Amino acid sequence: MQRLMKMNPRDTVAVALRPIEAGEEISFDALSIKAREAIPQGHKIALADMAAGSAVTKYGYPIGRAAADIAQGDWVHTHNVKTGLAGEETYEYHPDLHPVTYPKRNLTFDGYRRRNGKVGIRNDLYIVPTVGCVNGIAEQIIAEFKALHPDLGPFDNVTVLKHPYGCSQLGDDHRMTRSILLDAVGHPNAGGVLVFGLGCENNVVAEFRSLLGDIDESRVKFLVAQEVEDEAEAGVALLEELYEAAKHDRREPVPVSELNVGLKCGGSDGFSGITANPLLGAFSDFLISQGGSTVLTEVPEMFGAEKMLMARAANKDVFAQIVTLINDFKQYFLSHGEPVYENPSPGNKAGGISTLEDKSLGCTQKAGTAPVVDVLQYGEKLRKKGLSLLQAPGNDLVASSALAAADCQLVLFTTGRGTPFGSFVPTVKVATNNELFARKGHWMDFNAGPLLEKPMEEVLEEFIAYVIAVASGQKTRNEQNEVRELAIFKTGVTL
C-alpha cells in the first residue's frame, strides 16, 4: 500500500495511509519527504513549508490557516492549523456543474407498493406516541403483541418511536415535534401504525389526526390512554387489527428509481473523505442517473464547503435557498452565543480531522457531483427527483431521523470511528477503514476500506448490489441488533 495520499494537485498536505515514524523518509509526488515527527494513520503531513497565516490546502480548497510556521514533513493538525471560518457571508451565484452520470440499467428491488403510490422497503409496524408520557406503556403493548406473534407475521420490525416531547413545548419546538411524528405515520416503510396519546398533552390526538389528511384507516389506528379502561389491552387489540390488514402484503419488483436514500456521516476520521464518503458520492450519482433521489443534510458540516454546493444549484432559486439554509443555521449558532465553527468533535480530531473546513470538504463528498434540485426545511418530505439538501444539524440521531422523516427509505451512514446507532429506517453503516470493519463487524454493514487498493468502479458495483439487497429485505446490523431510534430537533424553552 502507498504510504500517503494527496486529494488534489493543489494540496499542501497529504494523508498518512498508515502510521509514519519520526525520521522516516518518504518518496512521494516527485518529492523526498522526511517526517519530522510521528504522524498517526489518517492524519496529515506537510508537503511544503507554510508560513504562519497561509492557507493549508486539502481537497484543493483551504481547510484553515497555519497557526504557526509549518515545515515540510511536519504533522499538520489542531496544534498548528486553525479554522478560517467566521459568521455569515454573502455569496454570488457562479454555476459550476460537472455531473458524473452512469448508463441506465434495468435494476429493481423487491419492495412494497402503498395505496398512495409510495414504495416501502420494509413492512414495519410503528407505535407513534404523541407524547413521551406513554413510551413505557407502548413498550408494554409491543411486548404483549410479540408474545402473541413471535415471528411478527407480515411485519419486518415492530418499533416504538420513543421521544420525550409532545407536551410542555411552544412555537417551533411544538411544530417540529408534530411534523416529524406526522412524517413517521406517513412513511412508506410503515405497513401499520398505532398513534398513541395520553389525553392531556399539547399534541392533541384529534388535531394530530386531522393534520394527517387522507389516510388508509385500515393501516393507521388511534388510541388515547385516558379514554379507555385498560390501555394495554386496547393497544394490543388495535395492533391485531393492523396485523390482519397487513397479512397479505407481499414484496414485488420495483425500479431502483423509486429509492430515496439519505446520506449521513458520523464519527468521521481521516479516511472518511478518501474512501466511504466518495463511495456514497459515486452511489448518489449512480442512483440519480437511474432516476432515484438522494438527500444530504448536516448543515453545520457544510460550513466551509458551501460554495461548492451553491455552484451546483440547478438554478438561481435553488442557489438562494442554499444561501438561506447556510446563513440561517449560522445565525442559529450565533443567536445562542456559540461560534459557527465549534466542530470537529474529539473523536473526529483523534481520527485526523483538524478543522470544520477539513470535515466539511470530506463530508460533502457524499453528495457526489449531481446538481442540487431542491432544499427542504426540517420536517419536509421529498418533492423532486435528484439531489436535495435538508435542514438539520450534524447530530447523528437528529439528522438521521430527519432524513427518515423526509421519506428516505434507508440511510447510508459512513463512519471511521464506529457507532451502533440506527434510525427507524434501515441504516447502513459504512466503515472507512479495514481495521474498524474487522473490529466492529457487529455494528458495521459495508467496508469501504478496500478503496485504498481497489478501483472505485469495482467497489461501487459491490455497494450497489448490497443496497439493493437491503432494499429487498436483507436486514442491516441496526435491525439485527434491535437498535432503531427517533430523535427530534429542539431549539426553544420547555415549560
pTM higher than the cut 0.85:
yes
CA distance 274 to 18: 13
Is the pLDDT at 439 greater than 80, yes or no?
Answer: yes
pLDDT, mean of residues 36-44: 95
pLDDT digits (tens, 9 = 90+) for 271-284: 999 999 999 999 99
Residue 462 burial by Cβ neighbours in a 10 Å radius (0-12, 13-18, 19+): middle
How much helix, strand and coil, in percent to the nearest 5, is found in the chain?
Answer: 35, 20, 45
Lowest mean pLDDT across 178-187, 255-264, 303-312, 379-388: 303-312
**Domain span(s) for CATH 3.40.50 in the chain:** 124-248
pLDDT at 2: 83
Residue 79 CB neighbours (<10 A): 11
Q: What is the largest CA-CA distance in the chain?
A: 79
pLDDT digits (tens, 9 = 90+) for 78-99: 999 999 887 778 899 999 999 9
- Could you tell me which CATH number the domain at 4-82 has? 2.30.130.110
**Domain span(s) for CATH 2.30.130.110 in the chain:** 4-82
CA distance 285 to 279: 10
CB 428 within 8 A of CB 419: no
pLDDT at 342: 66
With a CB cutoff of 8 Å and minimum separation 6, the contacts of 194 are 125, 126, 127, 128, 141, 221, 222, 223, 235, 238, 239, 242
Q: Where are the alpha helices (DSSP H) in 252-355?
A: 276-289, 306-310, 316-335, 346-351
pLDDT at 340: 76
- What is the topology classification, in CATH, of domain 124-248? Rossmann fold (3.40.50)
CB 399 within 8 A of CB 425: no
pLDDT at 88: 75
β-partners of residue 82 are 65
pLDDT digits (tens, 9 = 90+) for 208-263: 999 999 999 999 999 999 999 999 999 999 999 999 999 999 999 999 999 999 99
DSSP 256: G
